[in-house]
Structure 1
Amino acid sequence: MAVTLGKVVASVAVFAYGIFTVLLYAVMAMKKGIWFRKRTEKESLELQIARDRMWNPTKEYSGLSHHFATLTSGLKIHFMSNAAPGSPAALNPEKPLVILIHGWPDSWAIWRYIAGSSSLQESANLVAIDLPGFGGSGRLEKYSATNVLEALTELILTLRTKYGVDDDSESSKKRTIVVAHDWGCVLSMRLAAEAPALADRWILSNAPLVKLVESNIGRLLTSAKKMFSTALNSPLSSRTPVLQAFRTLGPVIRQAGLSAIHHRSYGSHKPTYSDKADAMSNTMGPSLAESKLQNENGDSYPEGIDYSREFSKIFDMASYYRQGAASARWNKSLETITGLHGIAGDEELRRTSSGTGVFDEGVPGVLKAPSTIIWGQKDIALDPHICLDGMGDYLVKDSQVVMLPRSGHWTPIEVESRAALEAAIQWAIGGEKGDVEAAVQASYPDATITVRR
Structure 2
Amino acid sequence: MGKSLSRTLTGVIVFAYGLFTIALYALSAISKGTYFKRPTEKEKLELQLARDRLWNLSKDYEGLSHHLLTLQSGFKFHFLSNDTPNTAQTIASDKPLVIFIHGFPDSWAIWRHIIKNPALQQAVSIVAIDMPGYGGTDSLEKYTATNVLEKLTELIVTLRTQYGVDTDAESNKKKTVIVAHDWGCVLSMRLAAEAPSLAHRFILSNGPSVKLVESNVRRILFSSKKMLSNAWRNPLQARVPLTQAVRTISPLFRQIFLSGYIFAMQLPIPLVHHFLTAGNLSLLRSIHIRSRGKAEHNAHDISECMASSMGPSVAEAKTKTASGDSYPITLQDERAFAHIIHMANYYRHRASTSPWNKSAQTVASLHSITPGAGRASSGAGLFNEGPPGALKASTTVFWGQNDLALDRRICLDGMSDFLVQGSQIVLLPRTGHWTPVETESRAALLKAVEWTVQGEKGDIGDALQTSYPGVQVTFSK
Quote how far apart the aligned CAs of 1:112 are.
0.3
Partner of 2:176: 176
* Contact 1:18 1:322 (C-alpha < 8 Å) held by counterparts: no
Matches within 5 A, 1:5-84: 36-84=36-84
Residues 367, 168 of structure 1: CA spacing in aligned structure 2 closer, same or farther, 3 A cutoff?
Answer: same
Matches within 5 A, 1:402-441: 402-441=426-465
Quote how far apart the aligned CAs of 1:173 are.
2.2
Partner of 1:390: 414
Residues 153, 17 of structure 1: CA spacing in aligned structure 2 closer, same or farther, 3 A cutoff?
Answer: farther
Output the amino acid matched with 2:390: V
Output the amino acid matched with 1:297: S
Range with bigger deviation, 215-224 or 252-261: 252-261
Partner of 2:379: 349
Range with bigger deviation, 380-389 or 396-405: 380-389
Partner of 1:334: 360
CA distance in 1, matches of 2:328, 2:341: 17
Aligned partner (choices 389, 411, 420) of residue 365 of structure 1: 389
Residues 89, 421 of structure 1: CA spacing in aligned structure 2 closer, same or farther, 3 A cutoff?
Answer: farther
CA distance in 2, matches of 1:84, 1:224: 56
Answering whether residue 477 of structure 2 is matched by residue 447 of structure 1, we say no
Residues 23, 359 of structure 1: CA spacing in aligned structure 2 closer, same or farther, 3 A cutoff?
Answer: farther
Output the amino acid matched with 1:415: T
Range with bigger deviation, 124-133 or 377-386: 377-386
* Contact 1:15 1:321 (C-alpha < 8 Å) held by counterparts: no
Range with bigger deviation, 256-265 or 435-444: 256-265
Aligned partner (choices 268, 275, 279) of residue 301 of structure 2: 275
CA distance in 1, matches of 2:13, 2:176: 33
Residues 12, 65 of structure 1: CA spacing in aligned structure 2 closer, same or farther, 3 A cutoff?
Answer: farther
Quote how far apart the aligned CAs of 1:92 are.
3.7
Output the amino acid matched with 1:285: G
Q: Give the secondary-structure state (helix, strand or coil) at the position aligned to 2:330.
A: coil
Count of matched residue pairs: 437
Residues 31, 323 of structure 1: CA spacing in aligned structure 2 closer, same or farther, 3 A cutoff?
Answer: farther
Range with bigger deviation, 225-234 or 242-251: 225-234
CA distance in 2, matches of 1:72, 1:337: 16
Q: Give the secondary-structure state (helix, strand or coil) at the position aligned to 1:139.
A: coil
CA distance in 1, matches of 2:423, 2:18: 30
CA distance in 2, matches of 1:438, 1:404: 14
Partner of 1:163: 163
CA distance in 1, matches of 2:18, 2:203: 24
Matches within 5 A, 1:92-111: 92-111=92-111
Answering whether residue 215 of structure 2 is matched by residue 189 of structure 1, we say no
The superposition leaves residues 54-88 of structure 1 with CA deviations (integer Å, 9 ceiling, x where unpaired) of 00000000101000111222221100000111124
Quote how far apart the aligned CAs of 1:18 are.
8.9
Q: Give the secondary-structure state (helix, strand or coil) at the position aligned to 1:450.
A: strand
Answering whether residue 329 of structure 2 is matched by residue 303 of structure 1, we say yes
* Contact 1:287 1:307 (C-alpha < 8 Å) held by counterparts: no
Output the amino acid matched with 1:57: L
Residues 106, 16 of structure 1: CA spacing in aligned structure 2 closer, same or farther, 3 A cutoff?
Answer: farther
Quote how far apart the aligned CAs of 1:419 are.
0.6
* Contact 1:284 1:311 (C-alpha < 8 Å) held by counterparts: yes
Range with bigger deviation, 119-128 or 314-323: 314-323
Residues 289, 307 of structure 1: CA spacing in aligned structure 2 closer, same or farther, 3 A cutoff?
Answer: farther
Q: Give the secondary-structure state (helix, strand or coil) at the position aligned to 1:178.
A: strand
Partner of 1:4: none
The superposition leaves residues 373-404 of structure 1 with CA deviations (integer Å, 9 ceiling, x where unpaired) of 11111212211111221111100001010111
The superposition leaves residues 31-63 of structure 1 with CA deviations (integer Å, 9 ceiling, x where unpaired) of 656564542110010000000000000000010
RMSD over aligned Cα atoms: 2.6
CA distance in 2, matches of 1:156, 1:20: 40
Quote how far apart the aligned CAs of 1:107 are.
0.2
Output the amino acid matched with 2:115: A
Q: Give the secondary-structure state (helix, strand or coil) at the position aligned to 1:449.
A: strand
Partner of 1:141: 141
TM-score (ref. length: structure 1) = 0.90
CA distance in 2, matches of 1:298, 1:162: 18
Partner of 2:203: 203
CA distance in 2, matches of 1:189, 1:290: 33
The superposition leaves residues 163-211 of structure 1 with CA deviations (integer Å, 9 ceiling, x where unpaired) of 0000123386210000000100000000000000000010000111111
* Contact 2:312 2:338 (C-alpha < 8 Å) held by counterparts: no
Identity %: 57
Aligned partner (choices 388, 401, 404) of residue 377 of structure 1: 401
Output the amino acid matched with 1:322: R
Range with bigger deviation, 422-431 or 235-244: 235-244
Quote how far apart the aligned CAs of 1:25 are.
6.2
Quote how far apart the aligned CAs of 1:252 are.
1.1
CA distance in 2, matches of 1:218, 1:228: 15
Residues 140, 28 of structure 1: CA spacing in aligned structure 2 closer, same or farther, 3 A cutoff?
Answer: farther
* Gaps in structure 1 of 5+ consecutive residues: 1-10, 351-356
* Contact 2:186 2:352 (C-alpha < 8 Å) held by counterparts: yes
The superposition leaves residues 298-330 of structure 1 with CA deviations (integer Å, 9 ceiling, x where unpaired) of 111111334663323111001111211111110
TM-score (ref. length: structure 2) = 0.86
Partner of 2:219: 219
Residues 91, 19 of structure 1: CA spacing in aligned structure 2 closer, same or farther, 3 A cutoff?
Answer: farther
Residues 347, 87 of structure 1: CA spacing in aligned structure 2 closer, same or farther, 3 A cutoff?
Answer: closer
* Contact 1:18 1:321 (C-alpha < 8 Å) held by counterparts: no
Partner of 1:120: 120
Q: Give the secondary-structure state (helix, strand or coil) at the position aligned to 2:193.
A: helix
Range with bigger deviation, 163-172 or 196-205: 163-172
Quote how far apart the aligned CAs of 1:271 are.
2.5
* Contact 2:389 2:418 (C-alpha < 8 Å) held by counterparts: yes
